[in-house]
């Protein structure tokens, strides 16, 4: 496994504001690498330094073994970029935009096939200004893939999309990776990073907070799973603290929260409840997620 | 090369889809011929050197089309493309910035020429306007004056903070220039004060050059005009490339 991106001691300030402070990491070929953090954490600055759109103050960046700023045109041929903020001429049509951008590159993907993958075939004669937010975003992805890139960059891909469109986008990103393309994305949705990324870099206030797989991050927290249920009426919960998988139990009126871990945690609790013949409702398990990881590592809630 | 041609082709299509731009370059000048033709006709008058009002206006209206593109088209298109992030999107591709600009300039030249052809066609159909010059010379002069005026437009685009201000600056320059340069109304019918002011209006030199060549005079007689337009071209191109911003 080789690195396609190598970032070493990257530092970038805008005046007195330090946007990125001494960050180092590698992105491995073929992975979906996610950079998460609140707005203003330094994600866009980092991604733009890697893309060569922004020159870092200190440190070095290698993209596909090249210097992003010095070898910008050579690199531009091999990567795809979706910018957080960009636009096309209002009256350009979808197919025209695709053909125009295709003409800029040495390698070209099949325009019809790409439009089909992005669900834009019916929109090929529509002008850019008539597209919905989701359609515009899909067009920008299509444009980012038009040169069959080796690495593709998505900056806040799903911001402004409704939950369903967001899920569709995730499917697309997985498909892109299946075709052998490395994906580098930034997001401020923890859930997106957790569901989509192989590895996640958490950044906050310009600093690298953590870098690992989402699963390992959550595991390293040592946070227990929770099983929550409600006991209607005046029922008394059976003694659950004795179960080997359970660490402790909290009861707030009718609501009971059981903490514990292990493969048989949930089933052992349910079995004990059945055994005691109590009627429980609204049973659900709650697992720690990246949201909890962020909270525990930075000591604060994710700021939107 | 493929990207260059595709870019020009799509730029032209975008231009034709822009109702305001097409009105001012394609419809407005023939409309002027119809309107002013109805008012003044095209009978030869001594005041216009023995030519008719419409004969003289062909060069003037061509200068007007050219300055519409230069002062209204260029600054607004470039600065709104910059403001909305279109230029930024192009910057992420291997497209060379200079290719983008040259394609843009060529597109503007082509739309100017299309407007001019439409204008002359209407002038000829309605008034059989006289043309005594050489087509190739007029063509070269339009390209030369066009480049000179466009360079001012690109400079405005570079200096203006946003699309709105670019539009305002363009209009503030364009409208007085249109009336004071003799492009819309021949200077001969203007008061002497206006004629004196016109010496400070760059477009005046475009009108003089085109009108002279239109009636078959040699380019050599227009050294002053050529030098002034050439200096504008060189200075504004240098300034424009210095002040040009992609975002």
Nearest CA distance, A100 vs chain B (angstrom): 6
Distance between CA atoms of residues A210 and A200, nearest Å: 8
Q: What is the mean pLDDT of residues A170-175?
A: 92
User: A51 CB near a chain B CB, below 8 Å?
Assistant: yes
A contacts of B91 (beta carbons < 8 Å) = 53
- Round the average pLDDT of chain A to a whole number and report it: 89
Please give the C-alpha separations between residue A196 and each of A189, A192, B231, B238, in angstroms, as whole numbers.
11, 6, 59, 49
Report the residue from A73, A85, A92 with minimal CB separation from B94. A73
Chain-chain contact of B84 with A81 (C-beta, under 8 angstroms)? no
Count A/B contacts: CB-CB distance under 8 Å. Answer: 56
Distance between CA atoms of residues A184 and B113, nearest Å: 47
- Candidates A172, A152, A162, A146; CA nearest to A50 is A152
CB atoms within 10 A of CB A227: 24
Chain-chain contact of B6 with A51 (C-beta, under 8 angstroms)? no
A contacts of B95 (beta carbons < 8 Å) = 104
Question: Please, what sign has the CA dihedral across residues B103, A88, A157, A117?
Answer: negative
Looking at A2-16, A111-125, A157-171, A189-203, which range is the least confident one?
A157-171
Chain-chain contact of B94 with A51 (C-beta, under 8 angstroms)? no
- Beta partners for B64? none
* Average pLDDT per block of 10 residues along chain B, 247 residues long: 91 90 89 90 88 92 94 92 92 90 94 94 94 95 96 94 93 92 86 89 94 94 96 95 87
Chain-chain contact of A89 with B3 (C-beta, under 8 angstroms)? no
How large a percentage of chain A has pLDDT more than 70?
A: 98
Nearest CA distance, A302 vs chain B (angstrom): 29
CB atoms within 10 A of CB A41: 25
Chain-chain contact of A88 with B14 (C-beta, under 8 angstroms)? no
Q: Which residue has the tokens 């103050």?
A: A57
Q: What is the mean pLDDT of residues A131-145?
A: 92
Q: For B78, which residue in chain A has the nearest alpha carbon?
A: A89
Token couple for A167: 């899920």
Nearest CA distance, B94 vs chain A (angstrom): 5
Distance between CA atoms of residues B58 and B130, nearest Å: 9
Chain-chain contact of A87 with B92 (C-beta, under 8 angstroms)? no
pLDDT, residue A252, reads: 85
How large a percentage of chain A has pLDDT more than 90?
A: 52
Nearest CA distance, B115 vs chain A (angstrom): 21
Report the residue from A77, A85, A127 with minimal CB separation from B85. A85
Given a cut of 80, whether residue A221 has pLDDT beyond it is: no
User: A125 CB near a chain B CB, below 8 Å?
Assistant: no
Distance between CA atoms of residues A16 and B7, nearest Å: 41
pLDDT, residue A303, reads: 56
A contacts of B2 (beta carbons < 8 Å) = 103
List CB contacts of A120: < 8 A, sequence separation 6 or more: A94, A135, A138, A139, A142
Nearest CA distance, A16 vs chain B (angstrom): 22
ipTM, two decimals, is 0.87
Confidence of residue A302 (pLDDT cuts 50, 70, 90): low
A contacts of B104 (beta carbons < 8 Å) = none
Q: What is the mean pLDDT of residues A76-82?
A: 94
């Amino acid at each position: 496994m080789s690195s396609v991106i190598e970032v070493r001691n990257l530092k970038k300030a805008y005046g007195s504001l330090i946007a990125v402070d001494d960050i180092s990491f590698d992105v491995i070929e073929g992975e979906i690498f996610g950079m998460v953090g609140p707005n203003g954490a330094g994600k866009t600055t980092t991604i733009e330094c890697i893309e060569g759109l922004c020159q870092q103050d200190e440190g070095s960046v290698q993209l596909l073994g090249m210097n992003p700023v010095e070898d910008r045109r050579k690199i531009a041929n091999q990567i795809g970029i979706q910018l957080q903020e960009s636009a096309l001429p209002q009256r350009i049509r979808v197919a025209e935009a695709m053909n125009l951008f295709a003409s800029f590159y040495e390698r070209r993907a099949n325009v019809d096939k790409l439009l089909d993958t992005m669900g834009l075939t019916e929109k090929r004669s529509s002008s850019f200004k008539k597209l919905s937010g989701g359609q515009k975003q899909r067009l920008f992805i299509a444009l980012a893939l038009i040169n069959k890139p080796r690495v593709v960059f998505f900056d806040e891909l799903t911001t402004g999309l409704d939950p369903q469109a967001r899920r569709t986008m995730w499917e697309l990103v997985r498909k892109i990776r299946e075709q052998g393309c490395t994906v580098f994305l930034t997001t401020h949705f923890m859930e997106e990073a957790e569901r989509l990324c192989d590895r996640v870099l958490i950044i906050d206030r310009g600093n690298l907070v953590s870098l690992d797989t989402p699963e390992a991050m959550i595991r390293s927290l040592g946070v227990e799973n929770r099983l929550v249920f409600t006991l209607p009426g005046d029922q008394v919960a059976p003694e659950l603290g004795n179960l080997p998988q359970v660490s402790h139990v909290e009861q707030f009126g009718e609501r009971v929260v059981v903490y514990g871990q292990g493969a048989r945690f949930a089933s052992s609790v349910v079995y004990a409840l059945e055994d005691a013949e109590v009627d429980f409702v609204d049973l659900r398990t709650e697992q720690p997620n990246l949201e909890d990881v962020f909270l525990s590592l930075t000591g604060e809630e994710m700021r939107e | 090369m493929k990207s260059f041609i595709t870019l020009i082709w799509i730029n032209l299509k975008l231009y034709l889809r822009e109702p305001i731009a097409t009105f001012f370059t394609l419809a407005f000048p023939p409309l002027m011929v119809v309107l002013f033709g109805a008012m003044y006709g095209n009978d030869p008058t001594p005041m216009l050197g023995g030519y008719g009002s419409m004969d003289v206006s062909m060069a003037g209206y061509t200068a007007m089309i050219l300055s519409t593109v230069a002062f209204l088209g260029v600054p607004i298109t470039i600065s709104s493309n910059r403001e909305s992030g279109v230029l930024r999107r192009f910057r992420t591709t291997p497209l060379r910035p200079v290719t983008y600009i040259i394609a843009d300039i060529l597109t503007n030249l082509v739309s100017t020429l299309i407007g001019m052809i439409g204008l002359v066609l209407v002038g000829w159909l309605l008034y059989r306007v006289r043309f005594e010059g050489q087509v190739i010379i007029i063509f070269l002069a339009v390209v030369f004056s066009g480049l000179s005026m466009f360079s001012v437009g690109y400079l405005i685009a570079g200096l203006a903070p946003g699309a709105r201000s670019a539009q305002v600056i363009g209009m503030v320059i364009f409208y007085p220039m249109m009336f004071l340069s003799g492009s819309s109304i021949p200077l001969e019918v203007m008061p002497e004060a206006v004629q004196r002011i016109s010496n400070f209006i760059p477009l005046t030199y475009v009108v003089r050059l085109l009108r002279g060549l239109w009636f078959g005079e040699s380019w050599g007689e227009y050294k002053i005009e050529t030098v002034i337009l050439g200096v504008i071209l060189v200075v504004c191109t240098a300034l424009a490339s210095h002040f040009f911003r992609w975002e």
